[in-house]
Structures are given as structure tokens and as C-alpha cells.
Chains A and B, each alone.
Chain A
Amino acid sequence: MNQPHLDTRPPPADPSAPARLARSPSSRHRSPSSRHRPTVPRGIRIAVLLAPAMLVVAVFFLTGITQAVGQSLGYQPFLPHWRLSLDAYQDLLTDPAVRASLLLTARVAIIPTVLSALLGVSAALLIRRLGRSRNAVSGIVQANLAVPHLVGALCMLLLLSQGGLLSRVSYAVGATDIPAAFPAATGDRFGWAIIAAYVWKETPFLTVIALAALGRGVEDLENAARSLGARPWQRLLHVTLPLIAPAVTGGAVLVFAFTAGSYEVPYLLGRPFPATLPVVALQYYNATDLTTRPTAMAVAVLITVLSGMMVAAYLFIAGRLSRRSL
């Protein structure tokens, strides 16, 4: 297990290439000798390099999390009177809105993650086999990525709502005669439009991830498998998919965490109750009654813990996969 983040490593380095001297720690970190400048100790140099970024992470991210935890327990910075309590969490446990929200959040995160992983990998396998149109098609898929989620939500609203384009098409072919007859996909209990928006946005994301993973020497390995007698399906199952699995899994974890934690799409395409966790958090936070603040923080902590578990799961999976693959 080298790096927890996604594929930022150089392509699984050409195994036959002479080992790069520079990669061994001892030779890489020796600084070029200099007569006039005393060399800065390596540890300090690294610390200085990392300091600004770590400061950003510490100030915003770590403080944010500790504050969320503290405030969920009743702590109020800059206020004289506060007391520790678990009331907010007790509220969460008894609040039916939260229970419904958990279910909805899981649904609108898991379904798009699985679907877009399947579709993304299929699309990547398709696109790489294309001839001249390859660049154009992958260009369109990439362009799709640049559309912000907020705009994606509006697109789904205009496409799927009862007054939307699909409803009009359904009228035109005589399937429905009034808007209300068209199945409600936006503002529904299930979250169809939320799911659709996420699938539409995340499939290109995972396509690009899978395409990038397919680019590195996979073709050579597939040819090696061919010469060893592997048929097309066997090559796909035993070579291609295992090779891109780590990257796609990593991407899928990001998709899950994002879909579970994003606010705009479920707010615009869902209904106020049941709403996803981030929407519930903001509902509590913006309530005129300040006493609901700890509850809002408790929901924020819940989101953080859930996505933290995803990070851990990802690191675990990536570790397992890369241990196998390296």
C-alpha cells in the first residue's frame, strides 16, 4: 500500500525498465552539495514544504471537524454559558426525519455509485475500441464533466419533472394527458431525479477514470494473455477488469462520498421530507431557533463519520488491491 489517494502514482512503472536510482530514498534525498550554503536538514526541509498545505488542512478541515463535534456536544465558542450534553444525539436517534433521511441518503448514494461504476467501465471499454471517433466521443464525455452539479440538477428538473420534456413527449405520444399523470420523478419520495442526476454526472467521471487506467500498458498485458490462450471474455475477466479495479474502486468511493454529502442536487430535486442528511443538517442549522444548532452539528458529525468510514474502506480496499498488484 503506497498511496491512499487515487492513482497519483506513475503508471505501474514499466517493470522491465531499469530501477530508477532516483527512487531509492537514499540517493534521491541527498541534496546537491554546495560550498556556501549549509544544507538544511531533510526533515526540516520537508516540514517547510508541507507547512502551508498542512496549515490549510489544519485550520479549516481539522478545526471544522473538532468544532462540529464540540458544538454537537453543546460547546459554544465565544459564548459564556454552555454545557456538555448528548442531547443532540439523543434527538437524532428519536427524530423520524433523521431515520428516513438515512435511508434516502443511502439510496441516492449507493444506486448511482453502482450504476455509474458499471456504466462508466462499459463506456470506457467501448470508447477505447473506437477508431477515428475516439477523441470526439471521449471529448464529449469529458465536457459533460465540466457541467457543475447545480446545472445538472436544473437539467434533470427540466427533463424529468411533470412539466418537463419527457412528460411532454409522453403527452405527444398519447401516453398521458395531464402533467400530474406523468410519474413524479422530481420531489418524489424515492429520489428518482436525484439518482438520475447523479448517474448522469458520475458516469462520465468514472469513464474518464477507467479510460486513464486502461491507458497504461493494459493492452500489452492483454496481448500477453492472448498469447497464453485467453479468449476475449477471459481476457476481460482475468486481466482487464482486475487491472482497472483499483482505480475504479477509488473513483467509486469518491462518488459515494460526494453523492452522500452533496447539498444542491437533493435540495433541488428532492422534497423537504424525507431529505438527505446534508439537507437535514442545513435545515436544522438555518432554523430560527438556535437550540437546534447542536442537532445540526450532530448531523454534520454523522455525515463526517459515514464518509470517514468510506475513506477507511477505500484505504483498506486500495491496500488490499495494491498489495496484490504490487
Chain B
Amino acid sequence: MTGAAITLAGVRKSFGDTPAVRDLTTDIPAGSFTALLGPSGCGKSTTLAMIAGLLHPDTGDIRFDGRSQLGVPAEHRPAGLVFQKPLLFPHLNVEQNVAFGLRMRRLDRSQTRERVAAILDRVQLTALARRRVGELSGGQEQRVALARALVLEPRALLLDEPFSQLDATLRAEMRRLVKDLHTESGVTTVFVTHDQTEAVEVADTIALLLDGHLAGQGDPEMFYAAPPSLAAARFFGVTNELPGTVRDGQFTAAATGLRRPTTLPDGPAVLVIRPETISLTSPSGDDDTMVGVAVAARFAGTHLAVDVQLTGGFLVTVYTPVTTSVRLGAPLAIDLPQAAGVVLAADRSLVSG
């Protein structure tokens, strides 16, 4: 990492009385592919619009390479923005759309033509250069939008849920393209999405935004192995939560008496267990197992989701291979290695909400 390309320092933004972004501070590393992840309404699009200069923070600073961008209008910021809608100019053809930014900079004709041709070739749209934009498919439109931003060789490429309106296969294809473009050019890329699997797939860094706050930032693995908070863990699809308490560096689950060492201070806590990190086994009385009864099994394509009613009364979901045979009602045990499960502080607001 070569330091921060984009810095947000104490950024706040409200619309009327509704806060959209509350005190956001984060560094987006240069050359990284950062996903700005969060549920709808978490302030991620607002954040991106502020980075692009289309919105202005109420307080705080936004810096590109250490230089404050406050007061710099959007058209002078070295960032290329691709919106959710392609927003191609309907009065221009594909080529003219891609050339738009260069024309605005009054680049001379031959150079413009050269750079447009190169980028169109890269996104495989050379054949459609003279096409009217109304004749393009959704995927082609977004490729033009991408090319239109990239041809300016921006310091940062900002993508605002650019593929959310495409179908699944096309979306996967576009992700690959964006990923490849990032690898080739090394341009710092900020990718706004609400889909955690998409974020995990494309990004090397994820900044999780919950309710206008930064709820954690790190590589995708971190959010699975060591989620920074219960809310973050839940956003990444943890389904098993065993509430309990921490005392003297030891967590004890209320229902099962299961123990785990932890560095958390004393107080209520939750042991979260991802269903794919545990497995079914036969009852043995082992310390690392929990005993229960299978109450439901659902076929989920790549795995079988089995709901196990623990003897303590808790329901735990386990993902097992689809070949596993599960007899409902039969006693069984869940193998729970030490590495599985993370103890996190109970979030009062989230529990009550």
C-alpha cells in the first residue's frame, strides 16, 4: 500500500433533519479496490457523491492525495464516477459519449481518437463505436459508461452500484471486467454496493457503512473470520448467535454453558458462529460439541441447511454437504472447533431493535 488516495475526515452530511452520514473518517488506500458496503439508506451513495463533488459535506474534509477537495467543483476533481444508471448522453453515439470528457478538456482530435479507440477496444466495444446509445443492451451501456470514465485516466474510479440493474450472469461478467481493469490500470477504485457477496468477490478492501457510521474496514476475510461488531457479523450473514456473558476474560453461553476465552471487558456478549464453519457429528460427550435434535433440513443448492434444536433450547443452523443424510428428530451433535465462532459485545441497540 502506498498510503491513502482518498481521505475522509470527520465527514457529516444531513438532508434537512435526516442525517445521512454521521462522522465518517476513513482512508481509502491508493491502488486499492475498496467496496463501500452497506444496506440501502446507510449513506454509502451520499458518501460517494461527496467524494465525487456532487454533494458537499456539512462538516469534515475530503482529501485526494492529501489535498483538500472542499470547494473544488465536481468537474475539477480527478475522479471518474459511474452511476447506477448508465446516463449515456442520448444525443451522442457510443464513440462521442466516450470522447465527451476529453472534448471538455479540449484534447486535440487525433489524441482523442486514439485514446477513445484504445479504451473501446479494451471494453470490447470497438464494433459498436458508431452505434446510437439507445440501441445498446444494458451491459453494453454500462461498459460505455465505464469506458467514458476510464478514458480520462482518473486518480480514482467511483462506481455507484453500477451493475445493480443487470441480471445475474451479466453482473458477474461485469465484475470480472472491472476487476481486470483495476488490475491492469491500478486505479484506486471505490465500489458502492449493498450486496456483501459482490463486495467480497471484487474488492480487496471493504469499508462497511451502517447507519451513517463506519462499522469496520479491512480485507474481506476479516469480516468472516473476525467481524468487528455484531452488526457487521449480522450483515455478513451470520445466522447463529449464542448470547451469554463475559467475566474475567471468559465468555459463557447462557443456554449451553459453552465457554470461550475472550479479550472483551465484562458484560453481555454474543458468540456468533457461521453455519459453514461447524459440522454435524454423532453425540460423544466431547467438550467441543453441542447436543441437540435436527428439526428441519433445507436443500440450498450447494449445501444442506440443517436446523438443530439444542438441548438448552437454542436453534443452531449448520451447513453440511448435500450428501449428508439427516433424520429429523434423531439426536445428534454439532462439532464446534475452537476456531469456529467469535465472541462479540452485545449491541444493545441492535438487540432491542
Contacts and interface: CB of A to CB of B under 8 A. Distances in A.
In the complex, A touching B (Cβ < 8 A)? yes
Given A227-B81, A229-B105, A324-B132, A16 B73 contact: no
Interface in B147-193: 148-149, 152, 158, 165
A239 B96 CA distance: 12
A16 B91 contact: no
Contact of A227 (B134, B138, B149): B149
Contacts of B88: 15
A230 interface: yes
B134 A16 contact: no
A175 interface: no
A14 B80 contact: no
A151 interface: no
Nearest to B135: A326
B75 A221 contact: no
Interface in A1-37: 12, 14-18
A125 to B, nearest CB: 17
Contacts of A243: 89-91
Contact of B101 (A229, A242, A325, A326): A229
A226 interface: yes
Given A16-B141, A16-B165, A239-B89, A229 B76 contact: yes
B74 interface: yes
A15 B85 contact: yes
A241 to B, nearest CB: 10
A15 B86 contact: yes
Interface residues of A, number: 29
Contact of A224 (B53, B87, B93, B134): B87
Interface in B88-139: 88-93, 100-101, 103-105, 132-134, 138
Contacts of A223: 54, 74, 83, 87
Interface string A62-73: 000000000000
Contacts of A325: 90-91, 132, 134
Contacts of B101: 228-230
Given A16-B141, A238-B100, A326-B132, A228 B152 contact: yes
Contacts of B53: 226-227
B24 interface: no
A298 B278 CA distance: 94
B134 A230 contact: no
Given A228-B149, A229-B76, A229-B152, A323 B104 contact: no
Contacts of B74: 223, 226-227
Interface centre among A17, A226, A228, A229 (most CB of B within 10 A): A228
B343 interface: no
Given A223-B54, A225-B100, A228-B152, A326 B75 contact: no
B109 to A, nearest CB: 16
A119 B53 CA distance: 31
B84 interface: yes
B52 interface: yes
A142 interface: no
Nearest to A223: B54
Contact of A220 (B85, B103, B133, B148): B85
A220 B152 contact: no
B50 to A, nearest CB: 13
A248 to B, nearest CB: 13
Contact of B104 (A15, A230, A321): A230
Contacts of A45: none
A135 interface: no
B132 A323 contact: yes
A221 B89 contact: yes
A32 B41 CA distance: 41
Contacts of A239: 89
B79 interface: yes
A245 B158 CA distance: 31
Nearest to B73: A226
A229 B153 CA distance: 12
B104 A326 contact: no
Interface string A191-213: 00000000000000000000000
Contacts of B91: 242-243, 245, 321, 324-325
B75 A226 contact: yes
Interface in A279-326: 321, 323-326
Contacts of B132: 323-326
Given A226-B75, A228-B149, A16 B104 contact: no
Contacts of B152: 228-229
A228 B104 CA distance: 8
Contacts of A14: 85
B104 A234 contact: yes
Interface centre among A229, A242, A245 (most CB of B within 10 A): A229
Contacts of B148: 228
Given A238-B100, A243-B91, A324-B91, A15 B141 contact: yes
Given A16-B138, A227-B81, A231-B104, A220 B89 contact: no
4 cross-chain pairs, A with B, having the tightest CB-CB distances, nearest first: A228-B101, A227-B81, A224-B87, A226-B74
5 contacts: A15-B141, A230-B104, A242-B91, A324-B91, A325-B90
Interface of A: 12, 14-18, 217, 220-221, 223-231, 234, 238-239, 242-243, 245, 321, 323-326
Interface of B: 52-54, 73-76, 79-81, 83-93, 100-101, 103-105, 132-134, 138, 141, 148-149, 152, 158, 165
Given A15-B86, A234-B104, A242-B89, 4 more contacts: A16-B86, A228-B149, A230-B75, A243-B90
